[in-house]
Structure 1
Amino acid sequence: MKNPTGAFLWILVLCTATRMPAQKQGQALIDSLLSVLPAAAEDTGKVELLAMLSFNYYPINPDEGIKYGKQGLKLADELHWQPGIAQLNGHLGINYAVKADYPTAIDHFLSALNGYEELGNKNRSATTLVNIGNIYLLTADYPQALDFYLKALKVQEELGNKKGIALSLSNIGLIYKNQSDMPRALSYFSRALEINEELGLKNNMANNLSSIGIVYDNQENYPKALEYFTKALEIQEELGAKDGIAKSLSYIGSVNFHQEQYEPGLQHLYRSLELAKELGNELVRADNLSLIGAIYLAAAKDTAGNSLGSLGFNGNRRSALLQARKSLDEAIAIQQETSNLKGLAVSYESLSEVAAMLGDYENGYHTQRLFKMVSDSIFNLEKDKKITQAAMQYEFDKKEAATKAEQEKRNAIAREKMNRQKLLLYSFISGFALVLVFMWVFYRQRNRIKSEKKKSDDLLLNILPGKVAEELKTTGSAEAQMFEQVSVLFTDFKGFTRLSARLGPKELVGMINECYSAFDRILEKYGVEKIKTIGDSYMAAGGLPVPNLSHAADTVNAALAIRQFMSDYNKKKSEDGMPFLEIRIGVHTGPVIAGIVGLKKFAYDIWGDTVNLASRMEASCEPGNVNISRSTYELTKDAFSFTYRGKITTKDNEEVDMYFVDKLIS
């Protein structure tokens, strides 16, 4: 396949440190390396030689780059040379990325990352994290991209690497821009620009200026967008950066299009297209073709006909539409080949309009369906939730690291103070006193061990049910169990993603923590077992790990108590003029399998259709209510009053009755 995006590979090159002299890059260096390869000894020197060949081949012939990369990796494995293994995996990742074989590229980058982390090479770890994020960004897997960019940012902050910090901030801004969160995108791009201006990195400044221009363009602030795109173009022309010039011309053409200035728009886009062809930049080329098609479409839609005349069509609307279709077909072919989902969605949308105006309704309908399918694969609620969760996790980790560092500082001071006291004590005390000291140390150590054991037991009981924790301590493992009848409870907050866009991660985590802590106390009161939380979802179950006959009533009582707590909580928030959280609660009763999963950070979890149907009960609930299934209703109908809601169909095409729980019958 062709190079998917010059901009992407430029980032990859920046992020892969090498020792080769810049003046020898290209075919001349490859010829030089090939001439000495046959005489090279089977040692680490040959590994480095093969690594240089693999890296230098990526822009010329990635298949050759892969061939030499595999040879180098095989030799490095035989020599058990970890630095070489990590470096070769990184170079193979770049070559596979050029071929748009992204799954294989990810595999090699992850292997490189593991190697660099084992070697303690934080610089290489950070750049590899960025490369992985770049691939996920290119394939529109925004949650994964954000996760790796945040990890890279954390490492770069530890290193104090301002250039790396600016790069990660730019990439994170790009994620939010692609998810249409423009205020947050603008914040990250501006922070990156400030750092790059401080460092005097003009090329990076131009990239940040372009990104800010894109944000303003999306916000329809076209004068501001044009201002920033023009600043970026001036820097790129000063640097002679043809790739950057092509992009800036394309961006300016896009602004012209939005301002209905079609003639200058086409002039800028065709200039950009010519440069993109020269450079082999397929991403910019496809974007230009898509925009050119959109301009011809807009001219054809101009009922006054002025645009058709200014573009040389002399009122011939069909000619403009045919020209639009030609450009869009070319754009789509490139976007399909390079897996550019976002660009593909835009081109499909324009092409469906062109087909409809040409009277080709069958193709118009087909293209519209393709547009919907691609759009839905990029923008969906689950990915928005995962992005919020990744940002929340980053804030948690950052806070935890700061707390740990402060505690270690206090411990060091305490240890130093204790050492001085011991030294003074040993200098003046008699032999009998020394014996007493040893006795005291022994007694204190015994109590400390006892105290630490209690802390460990308490922590285990906080993670696992008591019965399961005891089994784990006694035997070292815990068997999974089948429970014939358990009542599973799910809660979820309505509008959580929109609220997360209004609040910072710290404020959002504070609200969630306040609610979940209250839920924990309620579950403890009614004897219901908390299972886990997943972002803004909370899961619990009654009737395990020790079966009982009251599990359904216990779980419904807990659900009503949670509903009442949230009602009081939201009332107070509303009176204070603050955002609040509306809750949905679902309960279903049936069989489950329960046990411990994982080897590290293990957790007690449950599985089965009962869990899935309980989740459906929650999803089908209305905010501020408790929605239960027929099976739960049959076990609790004498204790509570209900409102029948109708049926839902399960994935097995079975119909299940639903009921709102009104209140406990006195």
Structure 2
Amino acid sequence: MAGPPVLQTLSHHHFDIGLPPHQERKAGKGLFRPKEGDKIRDPGPYWPLCLYRPVRHLFQDHQPDQQTVSRHPGLAHPRRPVEQPAVWHFCQNWHELLHRVKMKYTFYIPLLLFPSFLLSQTGDSVKDNISVVNEKYKAELANELQNGLAKLGVGNKNNDQAVMLDACLEIADLYEKEKYYSKALTYFEQAVSLANELGLHEVRLAIQSSIAQSLFDDGQLEQANEASLDLFEQHQIFGLYEPALKDLELLAETSLRLGNFAKAKEYFKKIEQLAMVTTDEPTAIVAMNNMGFTATRLQNYEEAIDHFSHAELNAMGSKKEVPGYIFTNLGIAWYNIGNLKRAIKNLQQAEGRDKEHKSYIQHLISSIYFSDDDLYNALKYNELAIASAKKSKDMQVMADAHETASEIYQQLYEYDKALDHYKAHLSLKDSLERIAISEQQHTKNIHDFMDETENSFRQNLIESELRQANLAQMELTNQTLQLEAETQRLEQEKQSQQMALLMRDQDVKEANLRAAQLEADRTKQELRLTTQRLLAEKQSRELASLNQKRHLDSLEAARTELEQQQQNALLESQLEVAELQAKQQQDFVESLYWLAGFFGIIMLIITGSWLYGRRLNKKLADRNEQIEKQKGEIESERIRAEGLLLNILPKEVANELKDKGAATPKHYDSATVLFTDFQGFTKIAATMPPAEVVSELNECFLKFDEIAEKYRLEKIKTMGDAYMCAGGLPVENDTHPVDAIAAAKEILAFIEHRNQKLAAAGKAPWPIRIGIHTGELVAGVVGSKKFAYDIWGDTVNVASRMETNSEPGQINISEATYDLVKAKFECKYRGEVEVKNKGKMGMYLVG
């Protein structure tokens, strides 16, 4: 038996509204239903680039018989082909339909044309307002275009290439904004030539990126593909991550538009790899989703589920809420392979997460229920979709939902409601088509207006230049006549200028004196502010010290109180023993007084007293044993508390805290910082249960702790899969660079041995990178609660960069560390490597 209808998933986390299943008339019932095995055509992805460029729309399978309507300003999506069966099969047997509803609704057929009539009438009433708005918009557009052209003319006249470049970019951006891509490309190409002449290579690359995008938007896909490939190679050479990612995204979009889904999949895979290397998790998640989209277009539905599931796992691993679009695509993918239960479950999860597209998801759920003949739930979710679409003013979803409602009510034989909903569908459909036609006409009018404005401006510019040439000739004649008079006046002006110059020199001297006085006053003010700031910092440090001391005093008071309670308990026990012994002696003396007369009774009393005394002695012994046990527990708790403190803080810092109540951060002129990190940890962890990941990390970090202690390194902290320790602190020494590298080599040997065992067990290895740098830093305890020993300074940042720029299975050290250990270890010079926020730095790999 054939499977359920196939739904197409949507790429990226923004998606357009889908359509209900392709309609087939069910024989004998006048019902439009998806047939078994039929595919629900993808409306095309709503394709904004989520990171590095503005929203740009892409849709696929745009056949000549399809219509494109705009749902939002600047965005479009393909709609279902305008097919006669959707209308005429519904009304072809209208006499029979009218007979079924007992001729009550004979007037419905002419009313199908009423929405168009109504819109035409209301359009006349607002025509004047629209005209006013258009004229205002055109005036603003003409002003911007004329300013850009005027700026270009000034730059051309003065031979100022920088001004010309700026003007070309302004005009090109204006044309691109109005989707006049042919004109935009003309000015972008002029801008490229100017940027080359000025030697602005980065600006040239940015302009070429705009050209590639404009070619894509203009439908010149092959040219856009070639331009993007060339840009990607150049950006790779310069190591520019964000522009290279932008190129890959445009290449993927172009491949999708060309129908080359396999090639698009390759580009999405490259995006994912690039994002994983740079730990850009959001981009990696979107790339995984889009790989699932391309797999769907290639009809590899199980592979699509794998990609969507990986996207979900990575989103969960980043400790952020899983985007709703992932659940939407999972629901569609499960439906494609016939698992309706899981499909609806995932779509219901998406419904709760994606508020923006809630109406689309509800309509999709309704369509799935409808395809499974569950008319009750189909109608329920379709009504929710209509309500949500009205709230969000989504006309396309409302149109599709009304059409689905019409089909459901036909199945329920409620033909009056079916006709009402179909009438609403046609009304909305007509409105959307009118909007699309209006926007197309508006765009054409704007293009014609911009051509007219530019031509008119250039004509006026030519006429203005001619007028200016005539005026210049007249001015030249007047200047010749006035030359003699000017010569005499110049002599007088020379004398006046000499006097003005003397006065200006005097003003300058006075201004310099005032400036010097103001600078002195400013310096005094800065000194006062610096003094106040230092005093505030000193008070803040004293307050922190008092808080630490108060915390320690509270701990000491609690310990003293506990010891006092134990002493009191011991004294009470001893007092009870003394009282028992005194009572025993008194009883014994009294028994002697009665010994003569009551020998038999005395023997019984002596026996009872002996037994009673035995019980008292045993009770005393138990009490003493309990006291000793409590003293032992207190002592063990004290030792355990000190051990915990030493686990958190170095011994010297802990002693300083206990003795002084505070620990002052200390500056170290030379210390060595070591960083480790597992390459590809996120990808490895995604394939393992969380408990197993934690167990594996714990095994590695326990060994790292043992090695650090062996080489007198102080463990600072762990950050996810990263490990940081430092040598030369808290007790200063001269061997910390050598100690750090020796520890790094032993860590590397441990990981290599461990990876061999993992490979033998058929598991993925954990490649490690290690980075080391030596320099000055500050170490100590900050805060008054949850003490933690930490280090600060540029040395820590450089050590982290050494690890980031290291290679798997290698120890990367800085030039500063190399100078201190080159006599002990063989090292290979890597050259100067570009480091983020540091420029180029010399690096070495330890042999």
Q: With structure 2 as the length reference, what TM-score do the two structures score? A: 0.34
Structure 1 or 2, whichever has the larger Rg, is 2
TM-score by length of 1: 0.42
Greater relative contact order (Cα < 8 A, sep 6+): 2
